[in-house]
Amino acid sequence: MPRFDLIAFDADDTLWHNERLYIAARDKLAALLSRYGVDVPIGDRLYRTESRNIDLFGYGIKSYILSMIETAVELTGGHLSDEDVLAIIGLGREMLDARVDLLDHAAETVARLASTHRLMIITKGDLRDQEMKVARSGLQDYFQHIEIVSEKDRRNYAALLAAQSLDPACFLMVGNSLRSDILPVIEMGGWAAYVPYATTWQHEAAELPGPDQARFYQIEHLGLLPALLARLETEEADSRP
């Protein structure tokens, strides 16, 4: 009998590459603004704009482009040309149209676990963009549930599990963000497998759980997840009277 009644996966930078699209767009913005004599660190200024806009705009590419335009207007003293506003919007179109590139081991791991476990995607961001990425990923049919939320916090996780009549102790979340995928799940009594990505947005950074946290595991890549599950399920079976 499986140790977990439900295994949920984050999407962006857990199942497919995402952050690198944002980094590429930021670098193109920096090149555009250099023509105006702007030589400040664009990343720091853009992140400050994003942070103050999250409560209004939420997450995702569309909110990112709005923050890019706002940052560009500020850094150019209001002299950003109409053509360059359109150029920044064009960066957003490129991001939205970008191919969904799965991470190594994502396809085979999800397919393998779908034969033994009930699977869910829990992701946050713009509804339409996330829906399109899930559809283009080729993984959609492996998941019984796909949830796109405005924020991944303890309250929303609790609501999702309550809707499934699921005990957090029987739930495993897999993701690359300590802030969104790992810590809220552990705090509510669930289990979490942390799979670090090469680059992490500042907003998602957090401290690792302490070494005494028994429901937290870190693995190098998704290909190691089946072995971790097998070990946990063996330990569960051995602990039964």
Q: Residue 141 is inside which H or E element, if any?
A: none
Amino acid at 175: G
pTM of the shown model: 0.93
What's residue 213's pLDDT? Answer: 84
Average confidence (pLDDT) over 211-226? 93
Helix/strand/coil for 220: coil
For the stretch 140-167, pLDDT in tens is 999 999 999 999 999 999 999 999 999 9
Q: How far apart are CA 183 and CA 179, in angstroms?
A: 6
Contact call for residues 52 and 203 (beta carbons, < 8 A):
no
What's residue 211's pLDDT? Answer: 78
Q: Residue 238 is inside which H or E element, if any?
A: helix 225-239
Phi, psi for residue 176 in degrees, rounded to 5: -105, -5
Q: How far apart are CA 93 and CA 89, in angstroms?
A: 6
Helix/strand/coil for 8: strand
What's residue 233's pLDDT? Answer: 85
In the CATH scheme, what is the homologous superfamily, with its name and number, of domain 6-16+101-239? HAD superfamily/HAD-like (3.40.50.1000)
Is the pLDDT at 204 greater than 80, yes or no? yes
Is the pLDDT at 1 greater than 70, yes or no? no
The domain spans of the chain are: 6-16+101-239, 19-97
Q: What is the CATH code for 19-97? A: 1.10.150.240
